Structure 1
Amino acid sequence: MLIRCKPIRFGYKIWALCSSDGYPHKLKLYRGKGPDQTKLPLGTRGVKDMMSAIESCSAVTKHEVYFDNFSTSYDLLKSLAEQNIKVTGTVRDNRAAGAAKLMKPNAVMKKSTRGEFDFRCDGEFLCK
């Protein structure tokens, strides 16, 4: 797989569902576009596929999931919240549909204090 803007451009993408102690519970090698692809973004499809392993094999009803900005989107947060799954992730500017009035990254970087951030809540989700 070609990954632009990386020091090593070609590599493998492996989806991993790991527990808090670091043990992997499900691994999936990304093999490119499949014949039965839905219109969902790749990150959303990957997370939902991983979460299907939790739903079928876990007796615990409350889960907390952490992932990076590749997977995080407002629609994914909403669908996981409906399944009582708490999510923490970094949201890219173009995927923060429910928090569109967040301060732009350039404006945050111009703030004088280090560690400055902005947050918004739409009544359901808190984005910061």
Structure 2
Amino acid sequence: MKTIEKEAIPTTEECAGSLRNILDALYVLNGKWKIALILSLVQSPKRFNEIRKEITKISPKVLAKELKDLELNDFVKRTVYLTTPVTIIYEATDYSLTLKSVIRELSVWGEQHREKVKQSMRK
């Protein structure tokens, strides 16, 4: 690995591996709602309509699809209670917690980006 000003430059193989890893992550977490849904459910388990009230701009159809995708990838657990009417509770799995540092870094970057945009608009 080469270095430029004390920073390592990845090799072609390392870049290809990183790219594959990033594409895999983005494939699973694609769309603008998945991370928001995980954050919502990490706070507490919720019913479908509770999620809709918290994430107001998501349509019911998209919410259902995103929850199903997250369940298939083991980020969300869906529990059905045979009450009248049937009660369905969604909750974040332990696997969702593996995204904690990723979500924190995205939050920090998002705040920095918002400030950069504000500064650009002032010029």
Category of TM-score, reference length = shorter chain:
under 0.3
- After TM superposition, the score normalised by the length of structure 2 is 0.20
Larger Rg: 2
- After TM superposition, the score normalised by the length of structure 1 is 0.20
> Could you say which structure has the greater relative contact order, defined with CA pairs below 8 angstroms and 6 or more residues apart?
2
